[in-house]
Every structure is written in structure tokens, then in C-alpha cells.
Amino acid sequence: MRILILGSAAGGGFPQWNCNCPVCQAARANDGRARARTQSSIAASADGERWALFNASPDLRQQINENPALHPRTGTRHSPISSVVLTNADVDHVAGLLTLRERQPLSLYASDRVHGALEANPIFGVLNPDFVARRPLPLGTAQEIHDRDGTGIGLSVEAFTVPGKVALYLEDESAGADANFGTREGDTIGLCVRQRDSDAAFFYIPGCAALTPPLAARLKGAQLVLFDGTLHEDEEMVSGGLSPKTGQRMGHISISGPNGSIAAFAGLGVQRRMFIHINNSNPVLLEQSPERAAVERGGWEIAMDGQEIEI
């Protein structure tokens, strides 16, 4: 299986248009301290011919242009992208669907909650139902990914609930923090993607608020996990003067600290672990930073746009 990291940054990308934090400044300086990144999405393929996108970021047009595997190959209209699978309804994961609107056959997989969010917004009607099949993604069972016409592309996907939060624009403030602002099952999912007739499998979990015991058990011994690397510290955006919100308030576990992801993964025996969906405030984006060195010492990689992984 081939996996392409299309975009390794969180919502807003890196640098973010209106952010003047030291990490964004370093990316703009383009002097080797930090490399710019586009927003959160990957692609996978069993045969190198038919690809599934996992999330569709606002930067999808640029990501397709920069990845020849996703360019049209035959006829006058063609795309190797046969399917799109969504992990939540966040802007950084669904806005790219609007880029895929030109009468191209596609299948679109999402939880009932995420399909509901798309159906409630008429702009996604640009995905003409004559061409785009919206298909359910039941929780807890593996199912084959099919193209628009129902032909399998050699990959299966199993979706499972992870702790998280409903998309920012769907938060119900009146429900309050105790009800997690109206979050329901299916608002944030993780995915296990497997190749047919092969042992190749990986987990893609770009948003996750905590590594619960059942989630840890599921990931134990995995070949490859691409995991939520939004923030290095829970208070990072507050102390940086960027936002009043902690990582927990946004539905993201932080990398460091006793409750962080590095600590939570220790002992799980995951063979390869990569942080993805990295916020522009995160000092691990600075290649010479002590935070970056500590993450790498902990056995983690920091995903980069354009990176290809073969498993």
C-alpha cells in the first residue's frame, strides 16, 4: 500500500494567514528553521492507480497539483481519486470537497453525523448526486472502499469512535462543557485502513482528545499510526496569546506531559508513529527546537507534505 501525506498541518495551515506567532514567522522567513505545510489530508492506494482521499482539505487543489499520482491519466476527464473518507466535519477536513465538484464519479464515506452536517449545508449540493455516491461508514466494522460504480479499490476501512468534539461551527454553546458542546457519537472517528490480501494496515487518527484504554488496546502492536499532533502543550495557544482555548477544549490531546500522547503510546509497541494535523503554534515544527528533538527521541516522526510511505 502507498500512503501520501498531502497535508500535515492542522486547520489554518502553516503558516496561518493571520498568525504572527514565532513558529509562523519562522516558516515565512523560509530560512531552514521550519517548512510550510498545507492542511490535513492523506491519500492511500493498493495499486497506485485508484486512490482514496482521507479528508478533503481547503488546500486540496494545490495538493493534487503537487502529487503526480493524483493527476488525470486517460481520456479528457479522469481522476485517480475514486473515493473520499471523512473523519469529522471540521472545515479543514471537508472544505476540499468543493474542489471535487466537476461531474467526476466519486464515492464519499462518512459517519451518519458527518453526512448529516454535509446534507444540512446546501453548498455541498455541488457534489452532484448523479456523480457522487454518499455512502455510510458504520462504526466498528471493516468495509471495503468502493468507487462510484461499486468496484472495490483493494482497501478496506474500519471506523471507530475516538474522544473528540463536534465541528467548531456546529457546537451547541447552550449544551455546555459537561455535554461537550453537543458532541455525539460519530462526530470524530479514527480509521484503520487495510489492504486486501495483505498484512498491510495503518491507523489514521488526525483528531483525538484522549487515548482511552479501548483505543490503546486497538492500537497495540500496529505497524503504523498517523496520530493527532495538533498541540505540543495543552495551554500552548493560551500562553502564546493566540486563542483562549486549550487543546482539551478543542478536542485534541497534547503531545507532551503526563497525559500526553507520547506518554500514552509508551509500551504499546506501535512500530512506526507519526504526528499529523500539526497546529502552526506547535514548536515541533521548528526543526532545531528542543521539543522536536524530544519527540524524535520518543520514537515519533513529524509528518511532512509530499512524504510517501510504503507499507
Which residues of this chain interact with ligand MLT, rule CB under 6 A? 10-11, 90-92, 168, 207, 250-251
Task: Restricting to residues 73-102, name those near Mn ion by CB under 5 A.
Answer: 90, 92
CB 229 within 8 A of CB 280: no
SS3 call for 73: coil
Q: Which is nearer to Zn ion, 24 or 110 (CB)?
A: 24
- Binding pattern for the stretch 238-277 against Zn ion, x by CB under 5 A and - elsewhere: ----------------------------------------
The least distance separating ligand MLT from the CB of residue 119, rounded to whole angstroms, comes to 19
Q: Least Å distance between CB 170 and ligand MLT? A: 10
Q: Quick one: which of 41, 55, 254, 280 contacts Zn ion (CB under 5 A)?
A: 280
Cβ neighbors of 20 (< 8 A, separation 6 or more) are: none
91 binds, among Zn ion, Mn ion, ligand MLT, none (CB under 5 to 8 A by kind): ligand MLT
Min. distance of Cβ 8 from Mn ion in angstroms?
A: 12
CA atoms within 13 A on the CB side of 191: 27
**Cβ 97 to Zn ion shortest distance, Å:** 26
Nearer to Zn ion, 19 or 295 (CB): 19
- Distance set, CA 105 to CA 79, 128, 264, 282 (Å): 9, 9, 41, 38
> Which residues on adjacent β-strands are paired with residue 37?
14
The binder of 262, among ligand MLT, Zn ion, Mn ion, none, by C-beta within 5 to 8 A per type, is none
Q: How many CB atoms lie within 10 A of CB 184?
A: 13
Q: Which CB, 11 or 13, lies closer to Mn ion?
A: 11
Nearest residue to 110 via CA among 218, 201, 189, 215: 189
Q: Which amino acid belongs to residue 161?
A: T
Per partner kind, with CB cut-offs from 5 to 8 A, the member of ligand MLT, Zn ion, Mn ion, none near residue 21 is Zn ion
Q: If we measure between CA atoms, which residue out of 179, 205, 180 comes closest to residue 191?
A: 205
Q: Which of residues 19-38 bind Zn ion (CB under 5 A)?
A: 19, 21, 24
- Helix, strand, coil percentages (3-state) for the chain, rounded to 5, are 25, 25, 45
Q: Which residues bind Zn ion (CB under 5 A)?
A: 19, 21, 24, 280
